[in-house]
């Protein structure tokens, strides 16, 4: 295969926005007031579209042609892959957050991504993290903090967030919050061969049956799930749990540029069972893992504080970094298949 023939950038751009509610009308702001039609207009500017929608317990998950969108009362998460213009959605979202949703402003903001496999193929604002930082500073204003964790000459992970502004009384997330993310590459070929749209007989696979047979439905039992295959291969899944908890998986199975992401904000004291299920299904050659927890979260971080982070059977920890942000602790670890 030629260097770029058929290449697809599975690595996602992930934007999470938390909004302030109006101080004089305590229950006024609600991001769910943005209609599907309005989201379709915004996503058109990003170069992706909605292919499915599910609602559960007051929050909505949209499965996109390139990844996912989650909307709850005062939080929006937009995750897009390929050559989409994720950050181009931000000005439109901020405008609607005031005119439609009734929010005063942003209470916190996070933008993150792994390093791209082919950054030169990205559109202008995403060609480098520095370009993304400059764009975000112009749109959001105020003070920001930008980080790179991992190896600049290998796998690394970028984060842009806000710094506390003393003048903003409502700054910060005021509820327990945590996010676990696995970004997997060099996936097992046999494991990836399952993620084709057609079965061995040339018939379309049922996403619902597939999630049951592969064990994906058991990652968070009882979830409301939306899943879809892509043509000829590729797979996406959104899962909604109670309250505003979600999980999502995106699979780019081609061996030349295989990539899988897993993400959830579901609170667990210990994530060992979830990690074990994901690793056994996808069998990555290596992966980066991040855990975000704020000061209200009930996640037990003691194992993440240890020298090599959580023990993953069959993998060696290559890198571990801990960052203390304002209201959050961030744990970054990088693993490679070995003999541990």
Tell me the CA distances in angstroms from 66 to 121, 131, 230, 239, one per residue in order: 16, 22, 10, 16
Q: Is the CB of residue 9 less than 8 Å from the CB of residue 81?
A: yes
> pLDDT, tens digit, for every residue of 222-263?
999 999 999 999 999 999 998 899 999 999 999 999 999 999
Q: Is-catalytic flag, 273?
A: no
Calculate mean pLDDT across residues 12-41.
86
Range of the domain at 256: 13-337
Tell me the CATH number at 54: 3.60.90.10
Question: pLDDT class for 1, splitting at 50, 70, 90?
Answer: very low
Residue ranges of E strands in 241-295: 246-252, 259-264, 284-294
Report yes or no on 209 lying in a domain: yes
Report yes or no on 1 lying in a domain: no
* Non-local CB neighbours of 94 within 8 Å, separated by 6+ positions: 106, 139
Opening angle at CA 213, ends 211 and 217, nearest 5: 40
Report yes or no on 98 lying in a domain: yes
Calculate mean pLDDT across residues 123-137.
95
Q: What is the pLDDT of residue 307?
A: 85
> pLDDT, tens digit, for every residue of 269-322?
999 999 999 999 999 999 999 999 999 999 999 999 988 899 999 999 999 999
Q: What is the pLDDT of residue 6?
A: 85
Q: Is-catalytic flag, 12?
A: yes
Q: What is the pLDDT of residue 120?
A: 94
- Active-site pick, 21, 72, 81, 86: 81
* Number of domains comprising the chain: 1
Q: What is the pLDDT of residue 170?
A: 65
- Active-site pick, 126, 181, 250, 254: 250
- Active-site pick, 236, 261, 297, 329: 236
Q: Is-catalytic flag, 53?
A: no
Q: Exposure pattern of 149-185 as b/e (b: 16+ CB <10 Å)?
A: bbeeeebbbbbbbbeeeeeeebbbbeeebbbbbbbbb
Report yes or no on 120 lying in a domain: yes
Q: From CA 179, how far away is CA 303, in angstroms rounded?
A: 16
Report yes or no on 146 lying in a domain: yes
Report yes or no on 17 lying in a domain: yes
DSSP 307: T
Report yes or no on 8 lying in a domain: no
Tell me the CA distances in angstroms from 190 to 187, 193, 254, 288, one per residue in order: 9, 5, 11, 21
- Active-site pick, 16, 21, 48, 67: 67
Q: Is 123 exposed, middle or buried (CB count within 10 Å of its CB: 0-12, 13-18, 19+)? A: middle
Report yes or no on 3 lying in a domain: no
Q: What is the largest CA-CA distance in the chain?
A: 63
* Non-local CB neighbours of 291 within 8 Å, separated by 6+ positions: 178, 179, 180, 181, 271, 299, 301, 304, 330, 331
* Helices within the chain (DSSP H only): 36-46, 90-99, 129-140, 189-192, 207-214, 272-282, 302-305
- Active-site pick, 12, 21, 254, 263: 12
> pLDDT, tens digit, for every residue of 186-201?
999 999 999 999 999 9
pLDDT > 90 fraction of the chain, expressed in percent and rounded: 84
Q: Is-catalytic flag, 236?
A: yes
């Amino acid at each position: 295969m030629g260097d770029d023939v058929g290449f697809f950038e599975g690595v996602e751009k992930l934007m999470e926005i938390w909004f302030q509610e109006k101080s004089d009308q305590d229950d006024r702001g609600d991001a769910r007031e943005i209609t599907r039609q309005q989201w379709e207009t915004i996503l058109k500017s990003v170069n992706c579209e909605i292919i499915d929608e599910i609602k559960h317990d007051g929050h909505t998950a949209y499965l996109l042609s390139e990844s996912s969108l989650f909307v709850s009362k005062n939080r929006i998460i937009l995750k897009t892959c390929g050559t989409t213009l994720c950050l181009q959605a931000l000005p439109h979202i901020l405008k609607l957050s005031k005119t439609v949703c009734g929010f005063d402003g942003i209470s916190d903001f996070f933008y993150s991504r792994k390093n791209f496999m082919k950054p030169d193929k990205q559109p202008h604002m995403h060609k480098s993290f520095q370009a993304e930082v400059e764009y975000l500073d112009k749109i959001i204003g105020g003070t920001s903090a930008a980080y790179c964790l991992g190896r600049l000459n290998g796998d690394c992970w970028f984060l842009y967030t806000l710094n506390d502004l003393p003048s903003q009384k409502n700054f910060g997330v005021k509820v327990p919050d945590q996010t676990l993310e696995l970004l997997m590459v060099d996936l097992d070929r046999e494991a990836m061969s399952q993620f084709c749209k057609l079965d061995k007989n040339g018939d379309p696979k049922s996403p619902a049956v597939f999630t049951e047979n592969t064990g994906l439905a058991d990652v968070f039992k009882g979830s409301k799930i939306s899943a879809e295959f892509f043509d000829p291969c590729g797979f996406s899944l959104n899962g909604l749990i109670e309250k505003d908890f979600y999980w999502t998986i995106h699979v780019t199975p081609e061996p030349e540029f295989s990539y899988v992401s897993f993400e959830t904000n579901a609170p667990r004291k210990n994530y060992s069972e979830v990690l074990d299920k994901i690793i056994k299904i996808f069998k990555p050659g290596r992966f980066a893992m991040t855990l975000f927890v704020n000061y209200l979260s009930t996640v037990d971080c003691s194992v993440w504080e240890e020298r090599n982070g959580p023990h993953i059977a069959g993998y060696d920890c290559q890198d571990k970094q801990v960052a203390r942000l304002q209201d959050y602790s961030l744990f970054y670890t990088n693993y490679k298949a070995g003999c541990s």
